[in-house]
């Protein structure tokens, strides 16, 4: 989730809670104010009635055409003692003039009259329809609620995007940044101190990485080149020693093993050097290469090797699979896949090659599936095979990534399948 969306979501949640509480308190305050005004009016009217009753004056009719109406009746001393002197409540009462029930605010009070008598006075006045009031208040609150929420969010979005613009510019520059390639300088002017420091830190970090990358590239290249000559000399000397007729069979066997180990070390060194060159972008010249033609060229060289182990070869060349890449890397890609299909095959097995306009698949028989997660790691070999350095598939994976190709491994019908495609779509069934 983006920081902007996270901030907006949390701000919206906080605003919803705050505005909801505000709306509830606002409604309660309005209703309290309405009731307070009505209660004051009822208190004034009840005081007038009590004064007239205590002075023995004639009481007005209970329904005199005004909003206020009353009932006055005598109660027992025990009843007066059991109930509070004054209470307020909301009730539905019958209005004589309108001949219907309406909501009203009711005041009930008990006072002591002459001759130790107790009188209960019930005064009520029709009040506003609280249901209608609730609906009206709710409608306006929702309108103001939504309007206020949207305005706050819009202002927040505007302020956030304006203030965070330097950060987005920096992230965009980092997305375009490629280690070991020419990169445009970071031009991110800002008056915000934190972003200014962040720009300086990122620029300094990128500069140190470039220096380390150049040093690493130079070291690996020089080390690999320097190792080639001593390895070649050692192989030649061992070959010369093996020609000595005075050597015993045991000595010849040990020299042959040493020679074989040196050859593997030489191949591994060449593979590491090639990997280093590919990752350093030293194969930038590209052209349209048809992998069908390369396969046809190298298959002739591998036919005799395959026949030595009784491995059958089946080829289904459909639409040519052509890609934009360096021709030398294309050759390495094809030969490593063909070699891998031979080394990790079984005697009397099968190698199947299929092509289409968007994909190339090379399959070979195998006993058990390999680890699909680690198969393209350097020096991962699964079951150890003679003649394998553990770098062939790592080279294939690096070449594919460098040239925006997709490679995947899967085990199907007793076969190891390696599939190269121009996209991540799985092709249809085999021809």
Round to whole Å and give the CA distance between 353 and 332.
Answer: 17
Q: What is the dihedral of CA 128, 130, 132, 135, to 10 degrees?
A: 140
The answer to whether residues 394 and 377 touch, using CB atoms and an 8 Å cutoff, is yes
Q: Which has the closest alpha carbon to 93: 59, 127, 121, 65? A: 127
pLDDT > 70: percent of the chain: 84
Q: Which has the closest alpha carbon to 400: 337, 333, 309, 348? A: 333
Mean pLDDT is lowest, of 178-192, 214-228, 248-262, 390-404, for: 214-228
Q: Residue 380 has what pLDDT? A: 66
Whole-model pTM above 0.85? no
Q: Residue 130 has what pLDDT? A: 61
Task: Answer yes or no: is pLDDT of 231 > 70.
Answer: yes
Q: Residue 430 has what pLDDT? A: 38
Q: Residue 65 has what pLDDT? A: 54
User: Across-strand partners of 354?
Assistant: 316, 361
Task: Answer yes or no: is pLDDT of 385 > 60.
Answer: no
Q: Which has the closest alpha carbon to 37: 88, 97, 113, 75? A: 88
pLDDT (mean) for 92-110 = 77
Q: What is the CA radius of gyration of the chain?
A: 46
Round to whole Å and give the CA distance between 168 and 294.
Answer: 46
pLDDT (mean) for 208-212 = 84
pLDDT (mean) for 225-249 = 78
What is the band of 386 on the pLDDT scale with cuts at 50, 70, 90?
low
Task: Answer yes or no: is pLDDT of 426 > 50.
Answer: no
Structure tokens at 151: 């305005």
Q: Residue 151 has what pLDDT? A: 86
**175-to-169, 170, 279, 423 alpha-carbon distances in Å:** 10, 9, 18, 22
Task: Answer yes or no: is pLDDT of 413 > 70.
Answer: yes
**Taking all residues of the chain, what is their mean pLDDT, rounded to a whole number?**
78
pLDDT (mean) for 37-51 = 82
Mean pLDDT is lowest, of 210-219, 240-249, 420-429, for: 420-429
* pLDDT per position as a tens digit, 335-359: 888 888 888 888 888 888 888 888 8
Round to whole Å and give the CA distance between 359 and 65.
Answer: 96
* pLDDT per position as a tens digit, 277-313: 666 666 667 788 888 888 888 887 777 788 888 888 8
Task: Answer yes or no: is pLDDT of 179 > 50.
Answer: yes
Q: Residue 429 has what pLDDT? A: 37
What is the band of 428 on the pLDDT scale with cuts at 50, 70, 90?
very low
Round to whole Å and give the CA distance between 415 and 367.
Answer: 8
Tell me the three-class secondary structure of the chain, residue by residue: CCHHHHHHHHHHHHHHHHHHHHHHHHHHHHHHHHHHHHHHHHHHHHHHHHHHHHHCCCCCCCECCCCCEEEEEEECHHHHHHCCCEEEEEEEEEECCCCEEEEEEEEEEEEEEHHHEEEEEEEEEECCCHHHHHHHHHHHHHHHHHHHHHHHHHHHHHHHHHHCHHHHHHHHHHHHCCCCCCCCCCCCCCCCHHHHHHHHHHHHHHHHHHHHHHHHHHHHHHHHHHHHHHHHHHHHHHHHHHCCCCCCHHHHHHHHHHHHHHHHHHHHHHHHHHHHHHHCCCCCCCEEEEHHHHHHHHHHHHHHHHHHCCCEEEEEECCCCEEEECHHHHHHHHHHHHHHHHHCCCCCCEEEEEECCCEEEEEEECCCCCCCCCCCCCCCCCCCCCCCCCCHHHHHHHHHHHCCCEEEEEEECCEEEEEEECCCCCCCCCC
pLDDT (mean) for 71-88 = 82
Domain architecture of the chain: domains with CATH: 3-151 (3.30.450), 195-279 (1.10.287), 287-421 (3.30.565.10)
Give me the sign of the Cα torsion angle 417, 423, 426, 430: negative
Round to whole Å and give the CA distance between 193 and 196.
Answer: 5
Sequence-ordered list of residues with C-beta below 8 angstroms from that of 317, at least 6 positions apart, any chain: 292, 295, 296, 353, 355
pLDDT (mean) for 410-425 = 79
pLDDT > 90: percent of the chain: 0
How many CB atoms sit inside 10 A of residue 279's CB?
Answer: 16
Higher pLDDT, 204 or 188: 204
Strands 359-365 and 406-412: unpaired
Higher pLDDT, 245 or 390: 245
């Amino acid at each position: 989730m983006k920081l902007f969306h996270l901030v907006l979501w949390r701000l919206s949640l906080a605003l919803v809670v705050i505005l909801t509480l505000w709306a509830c308190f606002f409604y309660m305050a309005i209703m309290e104010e309405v009731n307070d005004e009505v209660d004051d009016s009822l208190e004034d009217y009840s005081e007038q009635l009590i004064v007239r009753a205590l002075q023995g004056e004639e009481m007005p009719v209970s329904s005199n055409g005004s909003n206020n109406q009353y009932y006055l009746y005598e109660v027992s001393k025990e009843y007066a003692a059991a109930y509070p002197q004054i209470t307020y409540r909301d009730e539905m009462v019958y209005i004589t003039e309108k001949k219907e029930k309406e909501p009203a605010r009711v005041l009930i009070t008990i006072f002591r009259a002459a001759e130790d008598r107790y009188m209960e006075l019930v005064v009520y006045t029709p009040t506003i329809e609280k249901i209608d009031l609730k609906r009206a208040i709710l409608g306006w609150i929702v309108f103001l609620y939504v309007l206020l929420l949207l305005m706050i969010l819009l202002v927040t979005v505007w302020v956030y995007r304006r203030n965070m613009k330097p950060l987005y510019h920096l992230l965009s520059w980092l997305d375009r940044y490629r280690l070991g390639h020419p990169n445009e300088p970071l031009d991110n002017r800002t008056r915000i101190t934190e972003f200014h420091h962040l720009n300086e830190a990122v620029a300094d970090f990128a500069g140190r990485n470039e220096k380390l990358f150049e040093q690493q590239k130079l070291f690996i290249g020089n080390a690999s080149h320097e190792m080639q000559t001593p390895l070649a000399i050692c192989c030649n000397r061992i070959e010369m020693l093996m020609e000595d007729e005075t050597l015993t069979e045991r000595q010849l066997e040990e020299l042959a093993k040493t020679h074989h180990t040196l050859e593997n070390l030489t191949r591994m060194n060449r593979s590491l050097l090639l990997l280093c060159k590919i990752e350093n972008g030293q194969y930038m010249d590209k052209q349209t290469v048809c992998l069908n033609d390369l396969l046809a060229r190298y298959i002739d060289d591998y036919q005799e090797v395959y026949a030595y182990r009784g491995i059958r070869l089946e080829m289904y060349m459909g639409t040519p699979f052509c890609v934009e890449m360096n021709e030398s890397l294309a050759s390495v890609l094809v030969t490593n896949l063909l070699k891998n299909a031979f080394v990790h095959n079984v005697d009397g097995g099968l190698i199947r090659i299929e092509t289409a306009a968007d994909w190339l698949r090379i399959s070979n028989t195998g006993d058990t599936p390999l680890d699909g997660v680690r198969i393209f790691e350097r020096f991962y070999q699964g079951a150890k095979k003679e003649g394998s350095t553990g770098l062939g598939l790592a080279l294939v994976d690096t070449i594919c990534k460098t040239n925006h190709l997709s490679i995947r491994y899967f085990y199907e019908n007793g076969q190891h399948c390696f599939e190269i495609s121009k996209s991540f779509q799985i092709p249809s069934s085999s021809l």
